[in-house]
A = this chain, B = another copy of it.
Amino acid sequence: MSKRVAIVGASGYSGEELVRLLLQHPHAELVAVTSRQSAGQTVAQVFPRFASHPKAKALKFTEPNAATLAEVADVILLALPHGVAAEYAVPLVAAGKTVIDLSADFRLRSAATYQEFYGHPHPAPGLLESAVYGMPEVHREAIRGSRLIASPGCYPTSILLPVLPLLRAGLIRPSGIIADSISGVSGAGRKAEVDYLFCECNESVRAYGLPKHRHLSEIEEQLSLAAGQAVTIQFTPHLMPVNRGIHTTLYLAPTTAFSTAAETAALGEKIAACYAAAYANEPFVRVLEGKSLPDTKNVVGTNYLELAWRLDPRTGRLIVLSAEDNLLKGASGQAVQSLNLICGYPETAGLVP
C-alpha cells in the first residue's frame, strides 16, 4: 500500500537527496515538502536538476506546520538541524504519525549525554526511550515496529558498520579504537558560511572539531551497547575538496595476538567469517576482496558502504577502511531504508536502479 510521505526541511543537501529518492520511489508517494525559504516555489524551481520530473513541476514547497503535515502524510522525514527537529517530532508522534528524523535529536538514549555534547538540554527527553537508532543492519526488527526513527549520522555509519560485528564477536578490544575520517564538503550543509566557500575548501585539507566531535556521543553509545561495556574512542574528522563521500580508516586491536604468517592467516579467516556472517546477505554493505580498497568514487551516488580490512603483523593491528556517500548511506539513503522497512516495502525499493 502506498504511504503518503512528507519531507520537512527539504532545501538542504540531505533534503534534496530525500526528494530525489522519493520522486523515483516505486511505492511511497511524496505528498509534501516544506522549507521556510523556498515556500511557494515548485520542487522543479528549487532543484533544477529534477525539473523534468512531472511531480517536481507540480509539487510546491510549503511553510512547515506540524498540524498540516499530520493531516496530509503518514510518514514524515525531518531533515532539520538538531534542536529544531524535536519541535516537529513531538506533535507528529503525538498525532500517531511515523517520524524518521535525520537530525541528532533522538539518537542518544541519555538526555545527559545529549546536553554534554550538544550544549543545551534535550528538547523532548520523554521520547528518547521509544526512539530506535535507524541502522537497519543492526536494528532491523526494532525499526519495523517503531514510530520514531533516529536516522544515524554520516560519520557514525562509516564507523559503526565496520566495527560493530568485530566487537560483538569479541575479535577486537573495546578500548583504544581510533577512527580517522575524511569527508566531502556537503557534510557541512548548504549554509552560507565563509569556511565552506569554494576557494576556502578547494586545494585544502584540514582536520576540525578536535578532539570531541558531537558524533562521538552516538558512536560511543552504539559501540557500548554492542560491547556490553563503556567504550571511548578517538575520532578525527577531516574536510577534503570533494562534494560527497566519507572515507574512514579504523585502527583496531585484535583480541588474539598474531605475528607469524600462520597466526595472521588464522586470524584473517576469523575476521572474514565474521564479516561474511554480518554482511553477506546485507543489500547495502560490500566487503571488498583481494587487493581492492574502498574508494569514495565507487559509492558516491549510491546507498552502498564498502569496506576492506588488513592485518598488520608488524604492529599487531587490524586496519579497516570504509567508504560511503555521506548524503545517502550516511543520511538520506539510510533513512529511506528505514522508511521501506516501516512501510513493508522491499528494503531496497527506490535505492537500487
- Chain A positions within 8 Å of B, measured between CB atoms, are 13, 23-24, 48-49, 51-52, 178, 180, 182, 184-186, 190-194, 196-208, 210-212, 232-234, 236, 238, 240-245, 247, 249, 251, 283-284, 286, 288, 292-302, 304, 306, 310-312, 314-315, 317, 319, 321, 323, 352-353
Contacts and interface: CB of A to CB of B under 8 A. Distances in A.
B197 A49 contact: no
12 contacts: A51-B306, A180-B236, A190-B200, A191-B194, A198-B198, A203-B296, A204-B245, A204-B296, A210-B293, A211-B310, A212-B312, A238-B249
| Nearest 8 Cβ contacts at the A-B interface | A24-B353, A204-B297, A211-B312, A206-B295, A198-B201, A185-B198, A180-B180, A48-B298
Contacts of A192: 192-194, 197
A212 B301 contact: no
Contacts of A194: 190-192
Number of copies: 4
Given A24-B353, A234-B251, A205 B296 contact: yes
A205 B242 contact: yes
Contacts of A208: 293
A353 B293 contact: no
A36 to B, nearest CB: 14
Query: Which of A185, A295, A296 is the most central at the interface, judged by chain B CB atoms within 10 Å of its CB?
Result: A295
B210 A243 contact: no
Contacts of A182: 182, 205, 238, 240
A307 B206 CA distance: 11
A198 B200 CA distance: 8
A353 B205 contact: no
A210 B292 CA distance: 11
A352 B317 CA distance: 42
Nearest to A203: B242
Contacts of A210: 293, 310, 319, 321
Nearest to A195: B192
Contact of A249 (B180, B233, B352): B180
B202 A198 contact: yes
A190 B186 contact: no
Contacts of A206: 247, 293-297, 323
Contact of A315 (B233, B293, B353): B233
Contact of A234 (B191, B241, B298, B317): B317
A304 B48 CA distance: 11
A241 B242 contact: yes
